[in-house]
Amino acid sequence: MLTALVASSKGGCGKSTVVTQLASHWAQQGKRTAIVDADRQGSSYRWATLRPEGLPGVLGLEGRRGLHKLPADTERVLIDTAAGVGERDLEPYLEQASVLLVPVLPSAFDLHATLAFLGELGNIARIKRGKLPVALVGNRLKPWTHASQDALAELAQAAPFPVVAQLRDSQAYVLLTALGKGIFDYHSEQVRSQQQDWLPLLRWIKRQH
């Protein structure tokens, strides 16, 4: 079973977006996929309950106890955590996690908060020993702007973990999330370029697993 833990100290950075889009991809790949939503807002859990008939289902479970309710045949698990988490909050999930993903937005406030959070992660024993791979996911980027380019350059230089994906800013994620869908539920040319943004992250996860 592959378990992706998604966490950040910063609210609104796109944790639920990462969780739901990866869930839609793995579900479409025929993997038995579940979301454990440990955020009281419950965004990822609600997304799973909204999956339309005709699309591969994703099991949604709420809270820490959701880990103990996973069916034995589950192949992919995504854990969505609350904003402001620290080592103590992550502790119940660290041993189960195969990878840890940290979304980050291209702003000075987000970079500062994320770098402090990454420093805390680096002190966690399993991460320090190299047993839990950590990756950064640049989110809501505008690749054509200097602001996004400068933010990515600063993050790559200062962060102790690699930036493995760059996701462009798009309203498609907002619209699809409200419908219980993801971009991988579509096969049109219009969304194919956005699907391409996720391929480096998917390849990185596959290599770690």
Domain-embedded: residue 209: no
Domain-embedded: residue 162: yes
Domain-embedded: residue 207: no
Q: What is the mean pLDDT of residues 1-15?
A: 85
Q: What is the mean pLDDT of residues 136-158?
A: 80
If you compute the radius of gyration of the chain from its CA atoms, what whole number of angstroms results?
16
Domain-embedded: residue 58: yes
Which pLDDT does position 189 carry in this prediction?
A: 74
CATH number where 151 lies: 3.40.50.300
Domain-embedded: residue 67: yes
Domain housing 105: 2-201
Domain-embedded: residue 77: yes
What total number of domains does the chain contain? 1
Half-sphere exposure of 174 (CA within 13 A, CB side): 6
Q: CA–CA separation, 143 vs 58, rounded Å? A: 31
Residue 5, pLDDT above cutoff 80: yes
Domain-embedded: residue 208: no
Higher local confidence (pLDDT), 61 or 106: 61
